[in-house]
Amino acid sequence: MTQLEFIEQIIKEKEAVILDANDKIWSYAELPYEETRSSALLCSILESEGFTVETGVAEIPTAFVARYVVGTGKPVMGILGEFDALATLSQKAGCTVKDPVQNGGSGHGCGHCCLGTGALAAALAVKEYLVQNQKDGTIIYYGCAAEEGAGAKQFMARAGLFDGVDFVYTWHPADRNEVQPTCSVAIMGANFEFFGRSAHAGACPHLGRSALDAAELMSVGVNYLREHMIDKARIHYAYVDAGGTSPNVVQDHSLVKYEVRAPKVSQMKELFERVVDVARGAALMTGTTMKYEITMAFSDYVPNDTLGKIAAECMMEVGAPKWETSDYELAKKFLNSYDPVTLETIKEDIVQTYGGDQLAKILERPLDDQVHPYVAGVHEYESGSTDVGDVGYAAPTLNLNVSTCCIGNVGHTWQMTAQAGSVLGHKGLLTAAKALALSTIRTMESPEVMEAAKAEFVAKTGGVYHCPLPDDVKPPVGRY
């Protein structure tokens, strides 16, 4: 029996449990730091499989670490799992017209139910490989809460939970099958709070000091800043408290959230300080006071090319999900559910990615049925962010993308929620589990690969993790 045949057999044996867990976590649709039932379900399955589970790690109640040790316990291998949902994206599973399970409810619009359970299946398969083949090693499943919120992995890395880990694999639901070829940018988020003085806006406005004016002037200042930052940087904001609903009262309080992104942590921190200076200036102009609280920060993610070459070979061996005619028909309905403007943009992206001669075929059968080659070397930055980047600064790390949705799917939509709870999500997560498990086993059995991956990691990071968050910033559980 080959390694892949062994993995396929184990995952087939555990398929019902894994898919049931996916569908339950999909239905729970718990928001960041609130994933109580999802976390407990994953821990229960891992404990039943003999893993030693430590809950509440890094001061996050829903984060956990599950270990299975055989023999000497070396090498130490990690697999990351996520399981949080997104607000307002409730949608019935497999339904191709907008029809929420609960109006305004949450949903797995990024497919983290699939991510967590696919990673779980991989960890169980690796554990069985160690046991049945009497191999030394430790397999660790990291239960990573709140990726869609302020994150967990950077707090877990700061707490030393990746110290001594030889390598880490993870995956993400996607519309393509590939080793992720791109980098993700660093991000820092903070709450900016302004304090003024209330007064009658008609009778004595001169006695008031408007905190809302300060927040608005901050917005103006930041908008002028946008011209003078690098192209790959981003600044986002949202008003949390505009100071009340009475226009005849000078607002004495306001709170606005800002997030700053840039390719590298150093670039992100420099831009963030400029935003802080704008906030200070806004307070000075309005006679108000300002304080800010950093709530989150992720490091940039850069693929480990050594691991990438191994994982790409394994993904080719596993192959794409085995789609059937009914799967293509379902995916086509999801693709056509997008509004005309979005659909035209998707078509343009398909032409750019696959070539104009493939457009008609893909529109008719919009599921990725191939594994795309991985090219090591210089990687472009995309404008998204993930706390997987912090794991990559704590240990050699690689992310795989596996198809769970129609080609052209837009993330963080009700369409993604529906597909994550459908047969498309099921087939994708099981395929991802096989690719993760095979990549882990092949890497484990290649000491020279582990050494090369570590050397590449040290060259990038210096071998020491530096958390982008100040030491005094704690996980904002219940506050984010």
Residue-wise pLDDT tens digits, 124-174 = 999 999 999 999 999 999 999 999 999 999 999 999 999 999 999 999 999
Selection from 242, 250, 245, 240 nearest residue 293 by Cα: 240
Q: How far apart are the first and last CA of the chain?
A: 49
Q: What percent of the chain has pLDDT over 70?
A: 100
> What is the reported pLDDT for 378?
82
> What is the reported pLDDT for 57?
98
Which residues, including other chains, have CB under 8 Å from residue 278's CB and lie 6 or more apart?
A: 218, 221, 222, 225
Tell me the average pLDDT of the chain: 97
> What is the reported pLDDT for 479?
82
pLDDT confidence bin for 434, thresholds 50/70/90: very high
Q: What is the pLDDT of residues 256-306, one digit of tens each?
A: 999 999 999 999 999 999 999 999 999 999 999 999 999 999 999 999 999
> What is the reported pLDDT for 146?
97
Strands 253-262 and 186-195: antiparallel
pTM of the model: 0.95
pLDDT confidence bin for 24, thresholds 50/70/90: very high
Supply 179's token pair: 């080793």
Dist. CA 425–CA 404, nearest whole Å: 5
Omega prior to 475 cis, within 30 of 0: no
Q: What is the pLDDT of residues 60-71, one digit of tens each?
A: 999 999 999 999
The DSSP call for residue 50 is T
Supply 153's token pair: 């992995």
Which residue matches tokens 């997104």? 86
Dist. CA 4–CA 126, nearest whole Å: 11
- For 19, 324, 355, the CA distances from 327, given in Å and listed in that order, are 17, 5, 23
Neighbours of 182 (CB within 10 A): 15
pLDDT confidence bin for 189, thresholds 50/70/90: very high
Q: Is residue 366 over pLDDT 90?
A: yes
> What is the reported pLDDT for 240?
96
Dist. CA 107–CA 104, nearest whole Å: 10
Dist. CA 293–CA 356, nearest whole Å: 49
pLDDT confidence bin for 383, thresholds 50/70/90: confident
Dist. CA 46–CA 66, nearest whole Å: 7
Q: Is residue 18 over pLDDT 80?
A: yes
pLDDT confidence bin for 348, thresholds 50/70/90: very high
Dist. CA 110–CA 101, nearest whole Å: 17
Helix, strand, or coil here: 216?
helix
> What is the reported pLDDT for 250?
98
Q: What is the pLDDT of residues 108-120, one digit of tens each?
A: 999 999 999 999 9
> What is the reported pLDDT for 431?
98
Dist. CA 375–CA 469, nearest whole Å: 32
The region that residue 464 occupies, defined by phi over 0 for left and psi between -120 and 50 for alpha, beta otherwise, is beta
Dist. CA 35–CA 85, nearest whole Å: 9
> Residue-wise over 410-435: b if at least 16 C-beta within 10 A, else e?
ebebbbbbbbbbbbbbbbbbbbbbbb
- For 60, 81, 194, the CA distances from 42, given in Å and listed in that order, are 16, 10, 42
> What is the reported pLDDT for 335?
98
Average pLDDT over residues 462-472: 93
Radius of gyration (C-alpha) of the chain in whole angstroms: 24
Its sign, for the CA torsion 117, 122, 126, 132, is: positive
Q: Is residue 480 over pLDDT 80?
A: no
> What is the reported pLDDT for 410?
96
Q: Is residue 401 over pLDDT 80?
A: yes
Neighbours of 118 (CB within 10 A): 35
Q: Is residue 198 over pLDDT 80?
A: yes
Q: Give the orientation angle of helix 423-444 with respect to helix 325-335, to 10 degrees.
A: 110
Average pLDDT over residues 22-28: 98
